[in-house]
Amino acid sequence: MMLFHLLVDPFVQFGFMRRALIACLALSISATPLGVFLLLRRMSLVGDALSHAVLPGAAIGYLISGMSLVAMGVGGFIAGLAVAMLSGVVSRRTQLKEDASFAGFYLGSLALGVTLVSLKGSSVDLLHVLFGSILAIDSHALLMVGSISSVSMIILACIYRALVIESFDALFLRVSSGKWLAVIQGIFLALVVVNLVAGFQILGTLMSVGLMMLPAASARFWGRDLPHTLLIAMLIGMLSSVIGLIWSYYASLPAGPAIVLSANVIFFISVLFGTRGGMLTASRR
């Protein structure tokens, strides 16, 4: 009973903890399936690049409207989508590979965003942009995150079959309906960017990709098929959110890094003990 109270009391007593938990749960449901598909497409580092690419747009929104989450979110979405499209154009029309073109654009985006925030804001504002302020999330930001999560799940359900085919056999999709291949890729990247923008609202640009990729990577060691892997990734994301928030409350740690660290601990446990390719399981066989 005492353990139950220790786990539940922070969320019962404080509204900011409840809002943070709801936002993280919503983001876990919508972002982790995208992380699974990024892993299947061997684009896991692209997610990290896009999380940094939203920074210049968010910084421009900050310069115009201050710490307005709507303005920063819209600016971040435009910047992230622009970097994704430009990287695709460069990789198709030059000899540069897609990962290298993403690296070139996101490094410049990160430096530009930090510079723009520093022009007007203080070091505290810069820390909020880079690492988020999840415990300060208000009802407007919560509504925005919830809306993004809901719309993302609906769109992902609509393109699920085509996305599965494109992830496992892109050549088949290109031959059977080549004109739709670019459309599916564009919609998928747009979903990744908009979920990173939602994660930016609560975890910051440097941490938002953690809740997308770490549960997805952990689920690969437990899932027997794709639907099973998607479900496990969502559950790991939600578990990491709960553990991280409780950990941050009792240990007086920053909430965003605590959530990502919790996801990282689960990842290491999965690497060691996972039933689908974990190190100890493989050594026994």
Task: Classify residue 117: in a domain, yes or no.
Answer: yes
Predicted confidence at residue 189, as pLDDT, reads: 85
Please tell me the predicted confidence (pLDDT) of residue 261. Answer: 92
Below-70 pLDDT ranges, the chain: 1, 67-68, 98-99, 121-133, 135-136, 169-179, 201, 282, 285
User: Percentage of the chain surpassing pLDDT 70?
Assistant: 86
Asked if residue 204 is part of any domain, the answer here is yes
Residue 276: inside a domain: no
pLDDT of residue 237: 94
Q: What's the CATH number where 117 sits? A: 1.10.3470.10
Q: Is 0.75 surpassed by the pTM of this model? A: yes
pLDDT at 233: 95
State the amino acid at position 250 in one-letter form.
Y
Q: What is the pLDDT of residues 110-157, one digit of tens each?
A: 788 778 777 776 665 666 666 666 766 778 778 888 899 999 999 999
- Residue 141 belongs to some domain of the structure: yes
Number of domains in the chain: 1
In a domain, 43, yes or no: yes
Residue 285 lies inside a defined structural domain of this protein: no
Looking at the domain assignment, is residue 82 inside a domain?
Answer: yes
- 157, part of any domain: yes
The boundaries of the domain holding residue 202 are: 2-271
State residue 50's pLDDT score.
79
